[in-house]
Amino acid sequence: METTVSPPESTSNVSTNVDPIELSATNNNTNDTTTNAAVSYVPSDPLETEPISEPHEPQNQPLPGSQPGPSPQKKRRRRRKIFTDMISTSASRLRVLRPHPKQTTAYSHSETELPDSPSYQHHRKRKSPPDLDKEVDIEALIAISVGFPVDSLTEEEIEANVVSQIGGVEQANYIIVRNHILARWRSNVSLWLTKDHALESIRAEHKNLVNSAYNFLLHHGYINFGVAPAIKEVKMKPVDGMPKGSVIVIGAGLSGLAAARQLIFLGFKVVVLEGRARPGGRVRTKKMTGGDSKTLAAADLGGSVLTGINGNPLGVLVRQLGFPLHKVRDICPLYLPNGRMVNSDVDSKVEVSFNELLDKVCKLRQGIMEEVKSVDVSLGTALEAFRSVYKVAEDSMERMLLDWHLANLEYANATLMSNLSMAFWDQDDPYEMGGDHCFIPGGNERLVRALAEDLPIFSDRPVDRVIYGNDGVLVHAGGQEYRGDMVLCTVPLGVLKRGVIQFVPELPQRKQDAIERLGFGLLNKVAILFPYDFWGGEIDTFGHLTEEPNMRGEFFLFYSYSSVAGGPLLVALVAGEAAVKFENMSPVESVSRVLEILKGIFSPKGIAVPDPLQAVCTRWGQDQFSYGSYSYVAIGASGDDYDILAESVADRVFFAGEATNKQYPATMHGAFLSGMREAAHINRVVKRRSMPSPEKLNNINQESSDLDILFETPDLAFGKFSVLYDPRSADLESNALLRVAFQGDKLNSDFLYLYGLVQRKQVIELNKVEEDLSRIKMLNCDFQVRLVGRNDLCNAAECIITCIKSGRLSST
Ligand SMILES: Cc1cc2nc3c(=O)[nH]c(=O)nc-3n(C[C@H](O)[C@H](O)[C@H](O)COP(=O)(O)OP(=O)(O)OC[C@H]3O[C@@H](n4cnc5c(N)ncnc54)[C@H](O)[C@@H]3O)c2cc1C
């Protein structure tokens, strides 16, 4: 996934770290850091455990003389949620909270700031009855920032039966109570909020609502989550009594880690199988160093910006860990190819035109979608059509600026404009997290380390097969088998698209179609450590324009990490078509192009660009545990596809990960939230499953034991396969009932049986094949037979069972 360039003192050293293979190239030419590289492979992707120096958090100051310029944070367009407009006043008139006679605990929130904003302070404030309406409003704001609708329930809440009747007074009161509990915990996320704490400020007659809201928020990971010592102490404690079941989590990215922690808290036995040698997945902080080891910097090669801090669960973790946050400043000077800064009037004019073009596309699609539901074209086509009709950006300077904005959009979506769905590319815009965009000094892997601590993670376990049925799941990874009750698959969409994991039975067609429809795109980075900061550490971003439209995404944006990385680090982004080409470009050439651009910008100002100490180039498209960077809505796809990806299969196979989160796709917080969502989902399914009628339970046991007895004397057995022929016919085309026994060596040692209906002649073919694995492939690929659990057998199979039973009965 990565490539490194690192010249120690007199020698330049270029290397490419491919995750998990690190490719490094060393150049012994003292003057030229980026040519004549000798390439060597160092197989490692170590989990960096050394402490990263805690960087100083500077005051945000604008660069003297720099222009504000466009803000290129991972935002598609400038659109802000206006929370106050969204608050229902009728709900806030209801009185559920009682005035606090005295503030008995540390929980209280500021009335003017959301508790997740970096500047939020924990205030202790006494509330008087007239303050209550205001308090209810503020708590509603906090709930909205976390993703709750203002005066209705979420689907999760409805499924969890939080109120006895949807709509009405009970629901309105519940919402106030829920918001209150949420806000109370968010005001001090380092403490475990107990139900008693929650009850303190709610009128006694609403105790049942407190129960309902508290349990919902706790089990769905909205309160008492994270890594504060007080939270960890309660959450990672082994549960008393029998575990609720066992869950195999595939992938130790943010979604897998969040889910695993929450599942353990909910009482499940968990193992995490991770293909790489480290946790974190697409969050990867590379510690970079100069040859003298004195200059160090932490470079985020994957997810880097917390896009919107209000309500962001990762912001909660940051607060719990006591890390500072660095707000990404809204200043982004843009430079022309000749190094001159773009004129601010032209800059503003093109930015306005760009946003107007997007608005025109929005209006157009509203019209089209109302008329013809299924029409979709690429966003690129639509924008270009409007651009030429309205004659926007016709001269070369304006065209370059417009291309820069398009490159920024291609960065946000990790794909070319020509791939994006005009109809749904921005379907997640309404949910965008509010608040500042921030960096975590020292890199995001600090969060990963805290989340991964104490979890049962098995590294270097690439999963290649998941077998599931009524009796559980069997997961093959790194030559070993793991048996569990359920599996949670969090691998990236790129991995699902490649079919790296074989699901037996195959995933439903509906899910396979969604996997195909949704896009999984590319964004690459070049991180360069310099001996000193020559660009001026007072800005966080600057942009670079190019004359070649096809290459508009090549190093179009530089992030300065001097304030947060611990050393003078620049990261250049490669988006759109350039990101695809970049995958096959030599790292030496890439770095030399970046240096050329930097020299073009800074040399005319009399600033010399020093030789880099080290550089790293990413190759996310070639990374076998990702095959790309993040998801996007491709032409023909829609937000619904994220929901379909999130659907579980047979209540055994569950899915999390950024590409399963319709509201917050392509983000770190989206991944985290999807893990929490699935932990709650699995808990719900198990609760439901553990409540079947005793009568039904008896029948199931009876049925499976009947079948076990029949298979004690099969008509044919080979490997793990046993067969019962239909006694009514000896024809080669007649049916037979096949049973395949799977046994895992982890978690449990019992067999998992799956069944299928095959023809006698197919049984003969299967018997000729040498190994069970090849037989399963033959079943799936050649015979298109889906193996199922006992309860999913079709009528024809049940008929055979009945016939065999009655035949055997009459012969005794
Ligand atoms: C270059 C880049 C820049 C980004 N910038 C931002 C940003 O600024 N802000 C932001 O919020 N988000 C950003 N993102 C997106 C964010 O990083 C991801 O959305 C998030 O980290 C995904 O987490 P996840 O748990 O869904 O998947 P992952 O982190 O990919 O976790 C999945 C895990 O599954 C493992 N795995 C894969 N295949 C197998 C297998 N066969 N067997 C076992 N394990 C397997 C992987 O190794 C991985 O650890 C960026 C991503 C990239 C690549």
Most confident range, picked from 203-207, 310-314, 805-809: 310-314
Distance, CA of 522 to CA of 577 (rounded, Å): 9
Distance, CA of 650 to CA of 487 (rounded, Å): 11
Q: φ and ψ at 677, to 5 degrees? A: -60, -45
Give every CB contact of residue 711 below 8 A, 6+ residues apart in sequence.
Answer: 722, 724, 739
Cβ of residue 463 lying under 6 Å from some atom of ligand 1? yes
Q: Mutate which of 17, 459, 668, 678 to test ligand 1's pocket (most atoms within 8 Å of Cβ)?
A: 668
Instruction: Determine the pLDDT at residue 18.
Output: 37
714-721: Cβ within 8 A, 24+ apart: 714/739, 716/763, 716/767, 718/766, 718/767, 719/771, 719/772, 719/775, 720/772, 721/766, 721/772, 721/775
Distance, CA of 347 to CA of 80 (rounded, Å): 22
Give every CB contact of residue 542 below 8 A, 6+ residues apart in sequence.
Answer: 332, 333, 334, 335, 535, 557, 558, 560, 601
Ligand 1 centre to CA of 810 (Å) is 60
Average pLDDT over residues 424-444: 94
pLDDT, tens only, 678-695: 999 999 999 888 765 455
Ligand 1 centre to CA of 181 (Å) is 31
Give every CB contact of residue 349 below 8 A, 6+ residues apart in sequence.
Answer: 398
User: Would you give the end-to-end CA distance of the chain in angstroms?
Assistant: 66
Contact in structure between 39 and 338 (CB atoms under 8 Å): no
Instruction: Determine the pLDDT at residue 229.
Output: 94
DSSP code at position 79: -
Strand extents, DSSP E, 671-787: 716-718, 721-725, 735-743, 751-759
Give every CB contact of residue 212 below 8 A, 6+ residues apart in sequence.
Answer: 162, 163, 174
Task: Residue 741: name the closest of 726, 754, 756, 759 by CA.
Answer: 754
Taken in order of first residue, the domains within the chain and their CATH numbers are 2-75+283-334+521-622 (3.90.660), 96-232 (1.10.10.10), 236-281+444-518+635-689 (3.50.50.60), 694-811 (no CATH)
Contact in structure between 181 and 213 (CB atoms under 8 Å): yes
Question: Would you say residue 801 has pLDDT above 60?
Answer: yes
Collapsed DSSP state (helix, strand, coil) of residue 449: helix
Average pLDDT over residues 648-676: 98
Cβ of residue 521 lying under 6 Å from some atom of ligand 1? no
Q: How confident is the model at residue 330 (pLDDT cuts 50, 70, 90)?
A: confident
The position carrying tokens 């085309």 is 733
Cβ of residue 282 lying under 6 Å from some atom of ligand 1? yes
DSSP code at position 253: S
Quick one: the chain helix, strand, coil %, rounded to 5? 40, 20, 45
Amino acid letter, residue 537: G
Instruction: Determine the pLDDT at residue 691.
Output: 67
pLDDT, tens only, 71-123: 554 443 333 333 333 344 344 445 676 654 444 444 444 333 454 443 333 33
Distance, CA of 5 to CA of 591 (rounded, Å): 8
Lowest mean per-residue pLDDT among 30-44, 282-296, 509-523: 30-44
Q: φ and ψ at 738, to 5 degrees? A: -105, 140
Cβ of residue 302 lying under 6 Å from some atom of ligand 1? yes
Helices (H) and strands (E) in the chain, counts: 24, 30
For 145, 464, 778, 786, the CA distances from 782, given in Å and listed in that order, are 51, 20, 5, 11
Element (H, E) at 300: strand 296-300
Distance, CA of 609 to CA of 599 (rounded, Å): 6
The position carrying tokens 């619904």 is 640
Question: Would you say residue 488 has pLDDT above 80?
Answer: yes
Interface confidence, given as ipTM, is 1.00
Average pLDDT over residues 547-558: 96
Q: What is the side-by-side strand order in the sheet with 306-307?
A: 306-307, 437-439, 326-327
Distance, CA of 278 to CA of 22 (rounded, Å): 14
The position carrying tokens 């969604």 is 514
Cβ of residue 439 lying under 6 Å from some atom of ligand 1? no
In terms of C-beta density within 10 A (0-12 exposed, 13-18 middle, 19 or more buried), how is residue 744 classed?
A: buried
Cβ of residue 263 lying under 6 Å from some atom of ligand 1? no
Task: Residue 519: name the closest of 671, 653, 385, 415 by CA.
Answer: 415
For 56, 63, 114, 373, 771, the CA distances from 59, given in Å and listed in that order, are 10, 12, 21, 51, 66
Average pLDDT over residues 728-757: 80
Which residue's CA is the closest to the ligand 1 atom numbered 35?
251
Question: Would you say residue 234 has pLDDT above 80?
Answer: yes
Ligand 1 centre to CA of 634 (Å) is 19
Angle at 584 between CA 581 and CA 588, to 5 degrees: 105
Looking at the CA of residue 304, tell me the nearest atom of ligand 1: 8
Cβ of residue 629 lying under 6 Å from some atom of ligand 1? yes
463 is in an annotated binding site: yes
pLDDT, tens only, 18-43: 343 233 323 333 332 222 222 222 22
Mean pLDDT for the chain overall: 83
Cβ of residue 671 lying under 6 Å from some atom of ligand 1? yes
Q: Mutate which of 74, 282, 491 to test ligand 1's pocket (most atoms within 8 Å of Cβ)?
A: 282
527's tokens: 């991180």
